Amino acid sequence: MSERRLLGGAAAMSIAGIVRVGLQTLSLPILARILGPHEYGLVALAMPIVILSMILCDGGLPAPLMRRVEDDERVWATAHWTICASGAVLALLVAIAAWPLAWLCDQPDLAPVVMALAFTLVLQGFGAVPAARLQKAQDFRSLSLVEIGATLGGVAATFAFALHGAGAWSLVAQQLAYWLLRIASVTILSRWRPLRQYDFHLIAPDLAFGWSVLKVSLVNFATRSLDVVLLGMVRDSAQVGLYAMALQVARLPANVILGPFQGVFLSHLVRIKDSPEQVAAMLVKVSAVMAALVVPSTACAALIAPDIFAVMLSEKWRAAGIIYAALVPGAAIQAVVFLVMPCLVALGRPDRQLRQTVRLTGLWLAFATLGAMGGAIGIATGIGCAYLIGGPWMILSVRDVVPVPLRAYLGVIAQSLLAATVAMAALAAFRQISGVTGIALVAAGAVCAGTGVVLALALNRSILGVRRSLPIAA
């Protein structure tokens, strides 16, 4: 796969991610005025058990199936029926656990919400293998269309329910509609139908490899969901809702760019997996783009976050902006540093991926727990400290597998930070001199953030466009 095709696939998936998040962002101001922190908090408390079950559902099988050279239909069929059965069983277990969970959180309304969301596990099971086949075929155009269509359907369902006073159920309807449309789309576009055959032995090696990948996902689950659990133990659902909203916005860089891009990135890395030097060179190039896009934009957003939340979501969400500002450093570090994870998978070292993830998760849990008594801001600050320590540690500790050229890599980060500093200084000066607030300040922030991104890309142009390879020595 050429770099041009890599960029084309990345562009298609990133466009889908941008459209998806754009639709959600455009609908958020309206929904936030209809729904309050309590409704968002209720669904946020339900999601950890659902997300955990989604991770377990596919058993980590898609990644090893994509690595297979041969294309045995019996293997794909066996994997499909295995994942379908797993989704059905997990859906039943989640439904059973709904009432104890509601009692534990002291939220009686939580149980029916969890039971309804459990059905998404059945849908995920039926769509996992068709989606994996599209990804292996590098049909990123179809995958992007699936994402856009499912998101449109989810947003439409949310509005239909919210405008009829459904409250938290409008967010549940969004999830159900999204997964229903996704399973239907990938099934049609993949043009694949499973054989009515099953031979567990055919996928036993894939399950062994998939378990290594799955362990990483399980550890990552801690850093994506346990913060909500920790906060729910010390604060009410409204505070959880404010935190969940801030977290949703803070994760936009990862959701828009990193999430869609990782699948494309991995498919390219697998093709050069016999050359760790090429993998490392590609990592630096991709990190240059990611840092340039994420660091200046999130820095400017953090500076005026309360105004952004008040303008976009209404005054009742202003407090979420303060929480967002505390979350931003960790989110930005994660978006850039976690690009090393697909490199480890492509090089056949999921064990090292697991080791790094466990180490970072340990730091995350320690700092988040220490900050929990400080509420949402305390947890957010603790998470930022964990990533600030764990991010550089991760890059340094994998250089025996991925020989990252430190001089080039640190240059990429430093130049993006410089661009962010210039953009923030310009925005701070504008706010101080003009004294504007509200929409005018948000517009100025967007201009400064865009300027910072352009400046960061210009500073990193030698890595992005001139050199086709990078020196490996630090």
Q: What is the pLDDT of residues 344-365, one digit of tens each?
A: 888 888 778 778 888 888 888 8
Asked if pLDDT for residue 175 goes beyond 70, the answer is: yes
Q: Are 448 and 334 within one domain?
A: yes
Mean pLDDT throughout 301-327?
91
Reported pTM: 0.71
Establish if 139 belongs to a structural domain.
yes
Dist CA 240 CA 261 (whole Å): 30
Dist CA 51 CA 57 (whole Å): 10
Residue 120: which residues within 8 A CB-CB, separation 6 or more? 50, 54, 175, 176, 179
Establish if 27 belongs to a structural domain.
yes
Asked if pLDDT for residue 257 goes beyond 90, the answer is: no
Q: Are 12 and 149 within one domain?
A: yes
Mean pLDDT throughout 256-266?
64
CB 305, CB 35: distance < 8 Å: no
Q: Which range, 25-39, 130-144, 188-202, 439-453, is most confident?
A: 439-453
Mean pLDDT throughout 229-250?
83
Q: Are 166 and 282 within one domain?
A: no
In 3D space, the residue among 177, 155, 144, 196 whose CA is nearest the CA of residue 16 turns out to be 144
Establish if 236 belongs to a structural domain.
no
Dist CA 458 CA 442 (whole Å): 24
Q: Are 141 and 267 within one domain?
A: no
In the chain, pLDDT over 70 holds for what percent of residues?
Answer: 88
Asked if pLDDT for residue 90 goes beyond 50, the answer is: yes
Angle at 186 between CA 51 and CA 125, to 5 degrees: 40
Establish if 41 belongs to a structural domain.
yes
Establish if 85 belongs to a structural domain.
yes
Establish if 448 belongs to a structural domain.
yes
Q: Are 427 and 324 within one domain?
A: yes
Counted domains in the chain = 2
Q: Are 325 and 413 within one domain?
A: yes
Establish if 142 belongs to a structural domain.
yes
Q: At 326, list the tokens.
A: 């505390």
Asked if pLDDT for residue 375 goes beyond 50, the answer is: yes
Domain residues for the domain of 441 are 254-474
Q: Are 74 and 192 within one domain?
A: yes
Q: Are 192 and 274 within one domain?
A: no
Establish if 233 belongs to a structural domain.
no
Residue recorded with tokens 């990592």: 283
**Average pLDDT, whole number, for the chain?**
84
Q: At 437, list the tokens.
A: 């607030």
Mean pLDDT throughout 240-255?
82
Please indicate whether residue 473 or residue 404 has the higher confidence score (pLDDT).
404
Q: Are 329 and 406 within one domain?
A: yes
Q: Are 184 and 285 within one domain?
A: no
Task: Examine the fold and report which residue of 151, 169, 198 is the final residue of a domain before the chain moves on.
Answer: 198
Residue 81: which residues within 8 A CB-CB, separation 6 or more? 194, 198
Residue 335: which residues within 8 A CB-CB, separation 6 or more? 253, 254, 257, 258, 290, 294
Q: Are 188 and 266 within one domain?
A: no
Q: Are 270 and 367 within one domain?
A: yes
Angle at 144 between CA 140 and CA 148, to 5 degrees: 175
